[in-house]
Amino acid sequence: MPDGKGPFPTVIVRTPYHRVGLQGTARRFTTRGYAFVAQDCRGKYDSDGVFTPLVHEAADGQATIDWVANQKWCNGRIGLWGRSYLGIVQIPAASGGHEALRCMAPSVAPGSFFRDWLRYDGCFALGNAIRWSLTHATCRNQPPLNHFTWDELNCLPNPDAIADRVGFDTPVLSQWASHDHYDEYWEQIDQCLMHEQIKVPGFHVGGWFDHLTRGQFDAYQNIRFQPTVGQSTGATNFSGLLTNVHCLTVPMCFTIEVQNSHRL
C-alpha cells in the first residue's frame, strides 16, 4: 500500500510464476500512489484449485477485479499490468466489462494461442509446448528439472515418452498435443474472439524480435479499430468520462498512435 489514508487507485497483477517475485514491481507502483495487488493464478503456489493454463482466466480475473473494487482501500479505479502470462490474463479479465476497470497494459501476450504460440501457422512449437508446460503446468510450484536436458526431450516421440523420461505426469502437454487442430478447446481461449468486448484504454507492448509480437499487433488492431471502442477515423470517446485509446509500442523500434495520456 502507498503512504497515506487512501482509498487508492489499484493495479492488479495475476501470475502463475509466484507473486512473491513481484515485490520489487509493487514498490514501483506504491511509491507513485497506487495500491498493488499480486495474485497467484488458480492452482499455482498459494492459490487453491488446479492450474489449467488459460482456461479459467476470464472467470478468475473478473472475480478478482470485483473483489478488489469492493475493498475499502480501493477507490474503485483499477488497472491491469504485466507481461507474458501476466499480460495474457488481462484480455479475459477485461472482457467482463467491470465498471471499476479503467485501463490495461499487456505486454508480449498472444491472442490466438493455437496460431501464435503452440502451432506457429501449423508447425508444432516444441520449445513452447514442452519447456513451458513442464516448468509451469505440472504441479503447484515447480518440478525438479535438473535430471534431463530440453534438447533430449525435444527428440522424444510423444508426451508419454517425455513423462517417462522426466518421472512426473505432463497432463497439459498431453492435452495440447491431442488438440492438433483448431477446435473448441482452442476457440474457448482464443482472445481474438474476446477483443470486441474490450471497452477500456490499453497500452500494448511487444518486442521487435519477440515470438509473440504478432499477437500483440493483432490485439491492438482488433480493439483499437472496432466500432465499440472507436473507429480508425479517430472516434475515441468512452461514456463521456474516459478517452478510450489503444496504443502499441515496440521497444527500441517505434511507437504507434499515443493520442492521450491516462491515469487511474
Model confidence at 262, pLDDT cuts 50, 70, 90, reads: very low
- Report the pLDDT value the prediction gives residue 123, as an integer from 0 to 100: 85
Q: What is the mean pLDDT of residues 162-190?
A: 95
Q: To the nearest whole percent, how much of the chain has pLDDT over 90?
A: 68
Q: Is the pLDDT of residue 242 over 90?
A: no
pLDDT tier at 209, thresholds 50, 70, 90: confident
Report the DSSP pairing between strands 246-250 and 254-256: antiparallel
User: Which whole number is the average pLDDT over 84-107?
Assistant: 96
Q: Which residues of 74-107 are buried (b: 16+ CB within 10 A; e: fewer)?
A: bbebbbbbbbbbbbbbbbbbbbbebebbbbbbbb
Q: Residue 233: pLDDT above 90?
A: no
Residue 88 has pLDDT above 50, yes or no: yes
- Please report the pLDDT score of residue 217 as a whole number: 85
The per-residue pLDDT for range 105-151, each reduced to its tens digit, is 999 888 899 988 888 878 888 888 999 999 999 999 999 999 999 99
Domains of the chain, each with CATH number or no CATH: 8-111+194-256 (3.40.50.1820), 125-179 (no CATH)
Which residues fall within 8 angstroms of residue 66, CB to CB, at 6 or more apart?
98, 100
Strand-by-strand arrangement of the 8-15 sheet:
35-40, 8-15, 74-83, 101-107, 202-205, 246-250, 254-256
Residue 39 has pLDDT above 90, yes or no: yes
Q: Is the pLDDT of residue 198 over 70?
A: yes
| Distances 24 to 19, 90, 208, 212 between C-alpha atoms, Å | 11, 21, 26, 25
Distance of alpha carbon 79 from alpha carbon 245, whole angstroms: 14
pLDDT at 75 over 90: yes
CA separation, residue 65 to residues 27, 80, 93, 209, 233 (Å): 20, 9, 8, 32, 32
Specify which of 103-117, 151-165, 228-242, 245-259 reaches the highest per-range mean pLDDT: 151-165
Q: How far apart are CA 176 and CA 55, in angstroms?
A: 12
Q: Looking at residues 90-117, what average pLDDT do you find?
A: 93
